[in-house]
Chains A and B, each alone.
Chain A
Amino acid sequence: MHIPDGYLGPITWIALWIVMIPLWIIASRKLKKDLKTKNVPLLAMGAAFSFVIMMFNVPIFGGSTGHAVGGTLIAIVLGPWAALIAVSVALIIQALFFGDGGITAIAANCFNMGVVLPFVGYYIYRLISVNADINSSRHWIGAGIGSYIGLNVAAIFTGFEFGIQTILYPAVNGKFQYFMYPLNVSVPAMAFEHLLVFGFVEAIVTLMVVRYLQQTDPSLLGLSARTTSTERIPAGVSV
């Protein structure tokens, strides 16, 4: 799902920078309010986890590969705004140092994997686990379903961004300048491989870690629920 440089034309990648810059600022402000200093190492580990899990390329029919992202998991533990920051850091390092994802496409990749994925995944998880006891199976089931749908919606967004290039930049003399397959190819291609394979990889990783945290340190699962609840704990009160 890492869009390289040159696959999106300037209209698309600049538009996504314009979307992402305010979102990064909002995320920083949200974290300023909600992120406790003692949870900063957890955020850093979340970013590191996302980075390393993306190195596990999974093969699929037709010679393609894909991978999990782990964004919903970070959102479940620290909240979706924290996941936005953590996944963005991982993606920026991947683009700059490892050539995975383009420089111009940093905002596009952060939008798909750092915004769409964790927000969709997190709110589906919340919907399923709302008011559930901390030991309830609804937590890991919600984590599995949420992360599965989150990854797939992100993949469909990516397919859409690819596909609109053929409309924004039509072929000249039979040759496209940027991405070359139309929407009716790019969206189904991205959707099917994630629906059939990579979504399940993401779901299994996410629910296994959530199940593990439930058994070993369930307080971690309460962190994001606490900071997003309507009844806020006043700043300065240690919990």
Chain B
Amino acid sequence: MNKNTEKKLWIGLAILIVLTPLGLLAEGTAFGEWGPEELLKEVGYVPTGVEQGGNLWHSMFPDYTVAGFEGSFLHSSIGYILSAVIGIALIYIITIGLGKIIAKREEETRNENS
């Protein structure tokens, strides 16, 4: 990948981050991802496994919300964009770290040959 492409791909990612609030416009829940209230309404009860599962883990930014940025579309949009930035930063750092460990040997062989 040349530097120019890398720059353009970053710009592309940045544009996607800014546009993420469009994803908030979709109302409803994906099939099989319903919360307890929706299950109560649709199925008539909350399966015990689902109820226990829902209490298993409490994420820092549930459903890509950031505390303090809720309510209005503008506020939740800011929260959503912040979530995108936080998520991408974490993923980028972790993948670079993983890549450094995984791709290490290739680097060594190259050094040996040079």
Contact = CB atoms under 8 A, between A and B. Distances in A.
Interface of A: 1-7, 9, 28, 31-33, 35-45, 47-49, 51-53, 55-60, 62-67, 85-86, 89-90, 93-100, 102-104, 158, 162, 169, 175-180, 186, 189-190, 193, 213, 216-217, 219-220, 235-238
A36 B48 CA distance: 48
Contact of B23 (A56, A93, A216): A56
B30 A98 contact: no
B96 A41 contact: yes
A38 B1 contact: yes
A3 B59 CA distance: 15
Interface residues of B, number: 70
Interface string B75-101: 000001001101110111011101110
Contacts of B54: 4-6
Q: Is the interface of B mostly helix, strand, loop or mixed?
A: helix
Contact of B95 (A6, A43, A186, A217): A43
Nearest to A29: B102
Contact of A56 (B22, B49, B105): B22
Given A5-B54, A44-B91, A52 B20 contact: yes
B24 interface: yes
Residue among B9, B27, B29, B64 with max Cβ neighbours from chain A (10 Å): B9
B1 A193 contact: no
B58 to A, nearest CB: 8
A43 B95 CA distance: 7
A215 B103 CA distance: 28
A194 B107 CA distance: 41
A89 B94 contact: yes
